[in-house]
Chain A
Amino acid sequence: MSSQIRRRPSGAAKPLTFRTFLALSAGKAVARVARLAGRGGGTSITGMVARKVDPHILRKIVLDRGEPVVAITGSNGKTTTARFTAALLRGEGVTVSHNSAGANLVQGVTSLAVRSADLRGRLPGGVLVAEIDEGALPKVVPELSPMALLVTDLFRDQLDRFGEIYAVADAIESVAAGLPAESALIVNADDPMVATLAAKREGRRLNFGLALDHSTDRITRAADTIRCPRCRADLAYEQIYLSHMGDWHCPACKLRRPKLDVAVTSLEVMGLDRTRFTVKTPSGKLTIEIPQSGTHIAYNAAAAVAIVLGLGLPLEHAAASLKSVGPAFGRLEKIEADDRTIILAFAKNPTSYNTTLRALATEDEPRQLLIAASNTLIDGEDFGWLWDVDFESMAPRVERAIVSGTRADELANRLKYAGLSPRKMVVVEDRGPALNAALHGLPVGGRLVVLSSYTPMLEVRDEMRKRGWTGRFWDA
Chain B
Amino acid sequence: MTEPKAPRRKTAAPKRAAPKPAPAKPAPKPAVAPAKSPPPAAARVAPRRRRPETHDHRPLRIAHLYPSLLNVAGDGGNLIAVSRRAEWRGIPVEVTAVEKGETPDYGRFDIVLFHGGQDVEMEVVAADFIRHGPSLRRAAEDGVLVFAVCAGLQLLGRRYVSNAGEVMEGIGILDLETRGGPQRFMQHAACEVTIDGVAETVVGFENHSGLTELGPGCEPFGRVLAGAGNNGRDGTEGARWQNVFATYLHGPCLPKNPWLTDRLIEIAVSRVEGEPFTLAPLDDEMEDRAHSVALAKAMANKGRRTALEAAHLVRGRKKS
Residues of A within 8 A of B (CB): 135-136, 138, 156, 159-168, 170-171, 219-221, 223-224, 226-227, 232, 234, 377, 380-388, 392, 395, 407, 409-410, 412-414, 416-419, 421-423, 427
Contacts and interface: CB of A to CB of B under 8 A. Distances in A.
Contacts of B309: 377
Contact of A167 (B205, B307, B318): B318
Interface in B34-50: none
A135 B311 CA distance: 9
Given A380-B308, A392-B7, A409-B289, 9 more contacts: A160-B308, A162-B314, A227-B120, A232-B123, A384-B74, A387-B77, A388-B74, A392-B8, A395-B11
B290 A409 contact: yes
A232 B124 contact: yes
A414 B318 CA distance: 31
A223 B71 contact: yes
B84 interface: yes
B314 A220 contact: no
A387 B84 CA distance: 13
A170 B314 CA distance: 9
Contacts of A136: 313
A156 B72 contact: yes
The 5 A-B pairs with the shortest beta carbon distances in the complex, nearest first, are A387-B77, A384-B74, A419-B11, A387-B74, A381-B307
Contact of A414 (B77, B119, B207): B77
A71 B309 CA distance: 24
Contacts of A409: 286, 289-290, 292-294
Given A377-B310, A388-B74, A418-B11, A223 B1 contact: yes
A156 B318 CA distance: 16
Interface stretch (B23-31, B227-235, B251-259): B251-259
A161 B184 CA distance: 11
Nearest to B206: A382
B80 interface: yes
Contacts, number: 163
A383 B310 CA distance: 16
5 contacts: A135-B313, A167-B314, A387-B255, A410-B256, A422-B16
Nearest to A174: B317
Given A160-B311, A227-B124, A377-B309, A384 B205 contact: yes
Given A410-B256, A413-B256, A223 B74 contact: no
A170 B316 CA distance: 12
Contact of A382 (B73, B76, B310): B73
A232 to B, nearest CB: 6
Contact of B255 (A161, A162, A413): A413
A192 to B, nearest CB: 12
Contacts of B121: 227
Nearest to B301: A381
Contacts of B14: 416, 421-423
A165 B317 contact: no
Contacts of B22: none
A388 B76 contact: yes
A138 B12 CA distance: 48
A160 B310 CA distance: 9
A456 to B, nearest CB: 16
Contacts of B7: 392
Given A395-B11, A419-B12, A422-B286, A384 B251 contact: yes
Given A220-B1, A380-B308, A167 B252 contact: no
A163 B286 contact: no
A402 to B, nearest CB: 15
A382 to B, nearest CB: 5
A384 B186 contact: no
B80 A387 contact: yes
Interface of B: 1-2, 4, 7-8, 11-12, 14-16, 67-68, 71-77, 80-81, 84, 100, 118-121, 123-124, 184, 186-188, 205, 207, 250-252, 255-256, 283, 285-287, 289-290, 292-294, 307-311, 313-315, 317-318
A322 B261 CA distance: 52
A167 B11 CA distance: 37
Nearest to B187: A381
A388 B71 contact: yes
Contacts of B256: 410, 413
Given A221-B2, A384-B251, A384-B252, A163 B76 contact: no
A339 to B, nearest CB: 33
Q: Which of B12, B16, B77, B313 has the most C-beta atoms of chain A within 10 angstroms of its own C-beta? A: B313
B16 A163 contact: no
Contacts of A414: 77, 255
Contact of A377 (B1, B207, B252, B308): B308
B250 A421 contact: no
B8 to A, nearest CB: 5
B74 A417 contact: no
Contact of B119 (A160, A166, A168, A384): A166
Contacts of A427: 289
A157 to B, nearest CB: 11
A163 B184 contact: yes
A121 to B, nearest CB: 28
Contacts of A413: 255-256, 286-287, 289-290
A388 B2 CA distance: 12
A221 B118 contact: no
B15 A423 contact: yes
A170 B317 contact: yes
A423 B311 CA distance: 38
Contacts of A421: 12, 14-16
